[in-house]
Chain A
Amino acid sequence: KAGVTQTPRYLIKTRGQQVTLSCSPISGHRSVSWYQQTPGQGLQFLFEYFSETQRNKGNFPGRFSGRQFSNSRSEMNVSTLELGDSALYLCASSHSGRSNQPQHFGDGTRLSIL
């Protein structure tokens, strides 16, 4: 079974631009969560999608948005990029949303803002 796939692996953008990151979950998984990882703040929850609906949202500005498609693939968009958005963006999938189900993480997209 293929794992969680994130594309692209690396991305360089400049301030003010926007970016779209993609995540393909493990086959059969319906829940996709996004996290931002930085050295100073650690892993922070961005949002979760389940069956094409945003189920939870973290404490990030509205510049961060996402969506999920009928095949459970998810995209995350960041508009008006700022230097502080430089981070590793991780996507995680799980089968549904039950507490005892582990989340399976992708290798992430490393976003650098110049």
Chain B
Amino acid sequence: GQSLEQPSEVTAVEGAIVQINCTYQTSGFYGLSWYQQHDGGAPTFLSYNALDGLEETGRFSSFLSRSDSYGYLLLQELQMKDSASYFCAVRAETGANNLFFGTGTRLTVIP
């Protein structure tokens, strides 16, 4: 089976840095993605890691360690609008678009 674990809730202060971890156990692995979803909205793509290391996109960075089956999303200079749910998702099959999602981390940014 497939399982992805991430913290259910995280609270951080505006302007701070927060890290959301994701550990996975899947039958195959072809990349780890992160999605953001605001209440009532659609999930939106943030980042994708296929190889070990850090990928940076503006205030957001994502890291992957395939040997540890672990990744994280790093959000810097937090803004109130970053309050949302964040999902990690694994693509477990090549040539397929079926993502296995974690249960999501609800981030609350406080003033």
Contacts and interface: CB of A to CB of B under 8 A. Distances in A.
Interface of A: 4, 31, 33, 35, 41-45, 47-48, 50, 55-56, 58, 90, 92, 94, 97, 99-100, 102-108
Contacts of A50: 97
Q: From DSSP, what is the main secondary structure of chain B's interface residues?
A: loop
Nearest to A91: B42
A94 B33 contact: no
Given A43-B87, A55-B96, A108-B42, A102 B101 contact: no
A48 B31 CA distance: 18
Interface residues of B, number: 26
Interface of B: 30-31, 33, 35, 41-45, 48, 50, 87, 89, 91, 93-104
Contact of A42 (B44, B98, B101): B101
